[in-house]
Amino acid sequence: MAPKPPTLGKRRGKAVALLGIAHAAAKWPPNSATFGAPRRSVAFLGHMARALYTSRMLSVEQAQAEILGRGRVLPTERVDILAALGRVLAEPIRSTRRIPPWPNSSMDGYAVRAADARPSAILRVVDRVIAGSLPTHAVAAGEAVRIFTGAPMPAGADAVVPQEDVDARDGVIALRGAVEPGAYVRPAGEDVREGDLVLEAGRAIGAAEIGLLATLGRTQVTVGRRPRVAVLSTGNELADLGTEPTPAQIPNANTYSLMAQVVEAGGLPLNLGVAPDRLDAISERIARGLEADVLVSSAGVSVGELDLVREALVNAGAELHLWKVDMRPGKPITFGSIAGRPVFGLPGNPVSAMVTFELFVRPMLRAMQGRRAISRATITATALAPIINRGSRRGYLRVVLEARRGRWGARLTGEQGSGILRSMVSADGLAVVPGDTSIPIGDNVEVIVLREVST
Ligand code: AMP
Ligand code: MG
């Protein structure tokens, strides 16, 4: 069961005291305009006081459960089977056919009765059947039918002798050895029987699934709708793609890495661009983002005076949860909902934004499509060099994976700073390391696999 979200509960007295402090803080300093600090609404400060007071350290798994507990599966749509690649099947597929429809040969050779097939037996060839045609003769005792791969077995025959195992001349064949009943015969329904449940709802559709759907004569299939995900970056220091950063600016990375992660998770990104650190600007973007199914913003969620994303979300009607999550990278994450729409306030550092997306947004987007398997695969790898987590929080450390004598080995990508985006570029996975833990060379480490690793 999902753990209960933090609530005020019996400690209401203390919270009321904090609200009082929030009131006072809203009025302080008396002439805040001279400080250039934005004045915050009493309601928002009350919200923050409550959130900070009630925020407790959650494990990543608890935070994930809280988030998923508030998700909903989107409606479905019908698409052509090729367009279903990478989508989530929303209907169980039962077979209306038997595949193959009849027993057929898996070799070029001769259809025979196994009982006749003794070494040096001579059989008369009475027919020839190729793929795409039907046999016209049954095989009687002492007879054989020339047959090719994929052609239906003639009645009476129960085995195929490959052509390289006979001596053929003048309409007869001489066998060289015995043949087992069923040899080189693919039975009817060997792949699919009529009525079989061949694909369950909730699975991702890949190339094999599309082949199977085609085999069953399906031109279209019902899949979960892709979630539309509005992506917002905030910060006065950000120059968006296409504009040259001023001397005081840095390029906007997060919009693009997060939109790409949305696509990888099966969603459709909506670019809300960059909002400067002004409440009106952020609020205007958030209002535009509400046409999407999910809102993901990055940066502006710390406790600095220019960290206005939470306030803008609350003003837009969000019920917010502020969590300290036992993880690094990733500061407290903000999650909530506006009119049933999940909203995420991710940290601004490019690696923190990507890793928190991985752990919290991606599973939600997959679940919204009706997907059953929402988590990445984890493997147990061997540390190829010491893997040290000096922090007290659980580390999600970027590692390279290497195949070593049939086992996976993992080594850190290098510096683990949360602003070092190049460490994500080289990361095949995230090693999950408990706080204050050193994993020596040769010890096992659990790794979340982020991408296909070629060997
Ligand atoms: P903040 O949470 O707003 O304090 O941002 C944390 C750090 O992330 C700061 O160094 C920001 O400059 C950086 N940052 C925030 N947003 C972005 C972005 N979209 N692209 C690159 N870096 C960013
Ligand atoms: Mg900022």
* CA distances, 142 to each of 118, 165, 246, 326, 423 (Å): 11, 17, 91, 77, 72
Ligand 1 centroid to Cα of residue 393, in Å, is 21
Backbone angles phi, psi at 433, to 5 degrees: -125, 125
Backbone angles phi, psi at 279, to 5 degrees: -55, -45
Per-residue pLDDT tens for 71-90? 899 999 999 999 999 999 99
Q: Residue 170: pLDDT above 50?
A: yes
Per-residue pLDDT tens for 215-248? 999 999 999 999 999 999 999 999 999 999 999 9
Residue ranges with strand state E in 158-291: 159-162, 166-169, 172-175, 185-186, 197-199, 220-224, 228-234, 238-239, 250-251, 268-275
Ligand nearest to the CA of 350: 1
**329 touches ligand 1 (CB under 6 Å):** no
**418 touches ligand 1 (CB under 6 Å):** no
**352 touches ligand 1 (CB under 6 Å):** no
Find all residues with CB under 8 Å of 414, minimum gap 6, and list them.
Answer: 420, 423, 426
pLDDT of residue 19: 43
In whole angstroms, what is the distance from residue 358 CA to residue 238 CA? 23
Nearest ligand 1 atom, CA 237:
12
- Which residue CA neighbors atom 10 of ligand 1 most closely? 349
**266 touches ligand 1 (CB under 6 Å):** no
pLDDT of residue 48: 65
Find all residues with CB under 8 Å of 378, minimum gap 6, and list them.
Answer: 432, 446, 447, 448, 449
pLDDT of residue 37: 46
Pocket test for ligand 1, best of 252, 285, 298 (most atoms within 8 A of CB): 298
Q: Are strands 143-147 and 122-129 parallel, antiparallel or unpaired?
A: parallel
* Spatial contact of 294 and 264, defined as CB atoms under 8 Å apart: no
Ligand 1 centroid to Cα of residue 364, in Å, is 23
* Spatial contact of 430 and 329, defined as CB atoms under 8 Å apart: no
pLDDT of residue 324: 86
Pocket test for ligand 1, best of 238, 271, 305, 331 (most atoms within 8 A of CB): 238
Average pLDDT value for the chain: 90
| Beta-bridge partners for 232 | 297
Triad 133, 134, 136: Cα angle to 5° = 130
Give the percent of the chain with pLDDT over 90: 82
Nearest ligand 1 atom, CA 255:
19
**330 touches ligand 1 (CB under 6 Å):** no
**Could you tell me the end-to-end alpha-carbon distance of the chain, in angstroms, rounded to an integer?**
40
- The pTM of the full predicted model, rounded to 2 decimals, is 0.86
Ligand 2 centroid to Cα of residue 237, in Å, is 8
Ligand 2 centroid to Cα of residue 306, in Å, is 7
Per 3-state DSSP, the chain is made up of helix, strand and coil in percentages (nearest 5) of 25, 30, 45
Ligand 1 centroid to Cα of residue 202, in Å, is 36
In whole angstroms, what is the distance from residue 161 CA to residue 175 CA? 8
Find all residues with CB under 8 Å of 212, minimum gap 6, and list them.
Answer: 93, 192, 198, 199
pLDDT of residue 54: 54
Nearest ligand 1 atom, CA 302:
2
Per-residue pLDDT tens for 408-452? 999 999 999 999 999 999 999 999 999 999 999 999 999 999 999
Nearest ligand 1 atom, CA 254:
19
Find all residues with CB under 8 Å of 61, minimum gap 6, and list them.
Answer: none
